[in-house]
Amino acid sequence: MSKTLNTVFLNDFHIKHKAKLFPFAGYSMPIYYLNGIIKEHLHVRELVGVFDVSHMGQILISNSKHNTSSLEQYVPLNLGKLEFNKSKYSFLLNVNGGIIDDIIISKIIINNNEFFFIVYNADRKTVDNKIFEKILNDYIYIHDQSLISIQGPLSYSSLSFLKIKPDMNFMQINSTNFQEQEIIISRSGYTGEDGFEISIPNIILKNFMDKLMKSTNVILCGLGSRDSLRLEAGLSLYGNELTEEITPVEAKLLWTIDKIRLEKCNFNGCKTILHQIKNGVKKIKIGIKSVTKSMLRSQMKIFDEKEKEIGFISSGGFSPSLKVSIGLGYVDINHQDNKLFCLIRDKMEKIEIVKLPFISHKYKKG
Amino acid sequence: MSERKYSKDHEWLELNDDIATVGITNHAQESLGDIVFIELPDIGRLVKFGDQIGVVESVKAASDLFSPVSGEIIEVNNELQNSPQLLNTDPENTGWYMKIKIDNTEELTNLMNFNQYKETF
């Protein structure tokens, strides 16, 4: 029996704007519009693009002692000391240190109440929600608000056009009033560019979008270019680089973990993580580039000079900025040399290891 | 020049004596999206109807090219290696990808004419 796809609130809006909709994580989502993925991608790098990412999970959790310590079992951050109006990139970890999901967690005040606000992956909703329901009390899933991502060097000015002046730095967050409704704005995104993600009540969303589209240089972008943008930015994607079998150490994301909590070893998987830091890991994430014109794709195998299989590609595709194929992958820790090959349709094609990110980040940092 | 024929694998074919010029249809490029790479067949290769002879890669995914007829590949459009976007901008003209010397023109009766193709897809 085939499951029916969920639709986002803006579904009709996307159809009206000639979106190519495809199933993604159980949702019918715009993958690209009339301009196509490459043009949308380059537009975001140069100007500004708007993405509907309402398929993602949003939850507000009241900031209580119980909820803080419950979350800290899974999330390797000092949540008690997390400042208000700050966002952090983090994880839900399993007992083996594997990644259940990657999340953005923030602390905010809405109408004088303190909350944790978590944005998490659509694909992981069932798993994450089960955990939330098991460990938390007093929380609310946000179903009546969409999540709109505005990305690119002109994102601030396009919001100014709507009389929203989000004066904040990268990974800061605030709730503010727009047309008599409370909206949550954070300066973030997953493209490597300056940008904002806005959680906005559906009752004012169409109005918001129509106004935003009138701002100079704004175009609609789909999840296709969001993926190629995050790949160029060297950012990991759940299901590709991040899985329950991969730890933050292997994914080169150790920097996200709170050092003191790691020393105290008081969260899921901390023993594995400490062990990996001390003794090293078997596999490690790398960035790669195709030397030929062939496309690197996820699942392809990576080999050394002697044609010994030493890893796999976790994400691969075309880089519109660099005009070659790039990818992320995992290789045996002892084979981080530059003479690697990838098996592409029965041919061993040379690939190069590239320092991440492929395209440097342009976050607003004060 | 003959009437153009179309295959169910979204390729067009134009016959000149026993030489057919082959490309992908506009409908194909529309559903593929931005094309960024083509693996062309080898010149001189003898192929049968339906053989996998190459690959087109769009930003999203890879799709196989299948020979719409049997014969010998006598020319490929090398321009596409440097400008694969021709497959998006002009797929049914300068974006042709191979010329094939047909073994048996009777095979062409398996293919569709424009109206049949348009109705089917």
**Could you tell me if A349 and A291 are in contact, meaning their C-beta atoms sit under 8 angstroms apart?**
yes
The structural domains of chain A, with segments of one domain joined by +, span 1-279, 282-366
Predicted pLDDT at B2: 67
Q: Residue A232 — pLDDT band, cuts 50, 70, 90? A: very high
Q: What is the pLDDT of residues A59-72, one digit of tens each?
A: 999 999 999 999 99
Q: How far apart are CA A121 and CA A252, in angstroms?
A: 20
CA pair distance A291, A127, nearest whole angstrom: 39
Chain A residues within 8 A of B88 when measuring between CB atoms: 36
Q: What is the pLDDT of residue B3?
A: 80
On the question of pLDDT at A211 being above 80, the answer is: yes
Among chain B residues, CA nearest to A318: B59
Q: In this predicted structure, what is the pLDDT of residue B60?
A: 85
Listed residue (A264, A236, A239, A238) closest to A252, CA to CA: A236
Interchain proximity B57–A295, CB inside 8 Å: yes
Residues 50-109 of B with CB under 8 A from A: 55, 57, 59-62, 81, 88
Tell me what pLDDT residue A1 has. 43
The three-state secondary structure class of A287 is strand
**What string of DSSP letters covers A69-104?**
HHHHHHS-S-SSSPPTTEEEEEEEE-TTS-EEEEEE
Task: Write out the H or E segment, with its range, that includes residue A73.
Answer: helix A65-74
For residue range A142-158, list pLDDT tens digits in order.
Answer: 999 999 999 999 999 99
Chain A residues in contact with B61 (beta carbon < 8 A): 297
Q: Determine the distance from the C-alpha atom of residue A102 to the mean position of all C-alpha atoms in its chain, rounded to a whole number.
A: 8
Q: Do B36 and A318 touch (CB under 8 A)?
A: yes
Of chain A, the end-to-end C-alpha distance in Å amounts to 52
A290 in contact with chain B, both atoms CB, cutoff 8 A = no
Regarding the domain with residue range A1-279, which homologous superfamily does it belong to in the CATH classification?
A: Probable tRNA modification gtpase trme; domain 1 (3.30.1360.120)
B97 min Cα distance to partner chain A (Å): 17
Tokens 């100079």 belong to which residue?
Answer: A216
Walk me through the domains of chain B, giving residue ranges and CATH numbers: 5-103 (2.40.50.100)
Q: How confident is the model at residue A338 (pLDDT cuts 50, 70, 90)?
A: low
Domains A1-279 and A282-366 share a fold: no
Beta bridge partners of A289: A326, A352
**What CATH number was assigned to the domain covering residues A282-366?**
2.40.30.110
**Do A106 and A91 form a contact (C-beta atoms < 8 A)?**
no
ipTM reported for the complex, 2 dp:
0.84
B33 contact residues in A (CB cutoff 8 A): 20, 32, 36-37, 224
- Which residues in chain A touch residue B82, judged by CB atoms under 8 angstroms apart? none
pTM above 0.90, yes or no: yes
